[in-house]
């Protein structure tokens, strides 16, 4: 092989490496590396990398809408805490996704830290959601209120079941991989866990928007559905474009 041919093969090999790296770092929208944590960068940066800042604006808007509405109207001990807790649960759930999304296998320390923060935030969000459900269920029991009388109620139950399954499976894959037959098989389940996590976020946001159509939120608190929908849309616009194609085993 001549030196020119060898150099040509080397250039092709280098291009293949760059193309592979680019594909692995390519988000759903944007250029390669736009939503990847840089080496030695603080992990808090993961929250706003790429389009993440849009999600943060959406979360801030959601909290502003719900909390201002609650505290500028008469408080009801067995009703008012429900939207407060559920809005906080939605925020922590989204932050758990944002903090882990940009981590890369090439940075194992950051990835491990991201996984720990992700699990902790997910546990907190689960606790907040459970507390919120406990409040409203207590109210229904005391007032003999009707269950499942709205789309919000049905979506809430469905989302709650999905959340518990998602969290349990995630913890088992991480801490007890033997349940799945070992680490290799547990890792093979990760892509499904990631995909279902985004489905769960969509379900949570749909539940939040549907809450704006309930009598308490719409009539008593006078919250506009379109404003809540805008907050949810901003969260979607911030989170989903950062999907890492390689983590979902997707190639363009």
Query: Tell me, what's the pLDDT at 39?
Result: 87
Residue 247 lies in a domain: no
Q: pLDDT at position 9, please? A: 42
Is 83 within 8 Å of 66 (Cβ atoms)? yes
Res 5 pLDDT > 90? no
Answer whether residue 180 is part of any domain.
yes
- Domain-located, residue 143: yes
d(C-alpha 158, C-alpha 207), whole Å: 9
Q: How many domains does the chain have?
A: 1
Would residue 16 count as lying in a domain?
yes
Q: For the whole model, what pTM was predicted?
A: 0.86
Q: Residue 206's domain is classified under what CATH number? A: 1.20.120.1770
Q: Per residue in 59-94, is it b (16+ CB within 10 Å) or e — as a string?
A: bebbbebbeebbeeeeeeeebbbbbbbbbbbbbbbb
CA distance 82 to 137: 10
Tell me whether residue 249 is in a domain: no
The reply to whether 252 falls in a domain is no
Residue 231 has pLDDT above 60, yes or no: yes
* Position 95 in a domain: yes
pLDDT digits (tens, 9 = 90+) for 198-212: 999 999 999 999 999
Helix (H), strand (E), coil (C) string for 160-227: HHHHHHHHHHHHHHHHCHHHHCCHHHHHHHHHHHHHHHHHHHHHHHHHHHHHCCCHHHHHHCCCCHHH
Q: Which of 219, 200, 221, 120 is nearest to 156 (CA)?
A: 200
pLDDT category of residue 251 using cuts at 50, 70 and 90 = low
The parent domain of residue 113 ranges over 3-242
The predicted structure's pLDDT at residue 21? 45
Write out pLDDT tens, residues 158-202: 999 999 999 999 999 988 999 989 988 888 888 888 899 999 999
Per-residue confidence (pLDDT) for residue 234, from 0 to 100: 98
pLDDT higher than 70, residue 33: no
Residue 1 pLDDT: 52
Is position 251 within any domain? no
The pLDDT score that the predictor gives to residue 131 is: 97
């Amino acid at each position: 092989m001549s030196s020119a041919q060898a150099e040509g093969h080397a250039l092709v090999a280098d291009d293949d490496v760059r193309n592979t790296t680019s594909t692995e770092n390519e988000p759903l929208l944007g250029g390669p590396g736009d939503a990847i944590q840089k080496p030695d960068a603080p992990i808090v940066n993961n929250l706003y990398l790429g389009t993440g800042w849009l999600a943060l604006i959406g979360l801030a808007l959601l909290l502003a809408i719900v909390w201002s509405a609650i505290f500028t109207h008469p408080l009801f001990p067995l009703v008012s805490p429900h939207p407060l807790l559920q809005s906080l649960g939605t925020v922590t759930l989204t932050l758990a996704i944002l903090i882990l999304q940009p981590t890369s296998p090439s940075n194992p320390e950051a990835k491990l830290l991201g996984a720990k923060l992700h699990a902790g935030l997910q546990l907190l969000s689960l606790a907040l959601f459970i507390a919120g459900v406990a409040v409203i269920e207590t109210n229904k029991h005391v007032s003999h209120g009707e269950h499942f009388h709205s789309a919000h109620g049905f979506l809430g139950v469905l989302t709650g079941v999905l959340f518990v399954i998602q969290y349990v499976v995630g913890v088992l894959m991480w801490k007890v991989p033997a349940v799945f037959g070992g680490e290799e098989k547990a890792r093979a389940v990760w892509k499904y866990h990631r995909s279902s996590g985004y489905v769960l976020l969509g379900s949570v946001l749909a539940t939040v928007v549907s809450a704006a159509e309930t009598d308490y939120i719409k009539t008593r608190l006078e919250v506009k559905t379109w404003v809540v929908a805008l907050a949810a849309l901003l969260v979607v616009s911030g989170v989903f474009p950062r999907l890492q194609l390689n983590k979902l085993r997707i190639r363009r």
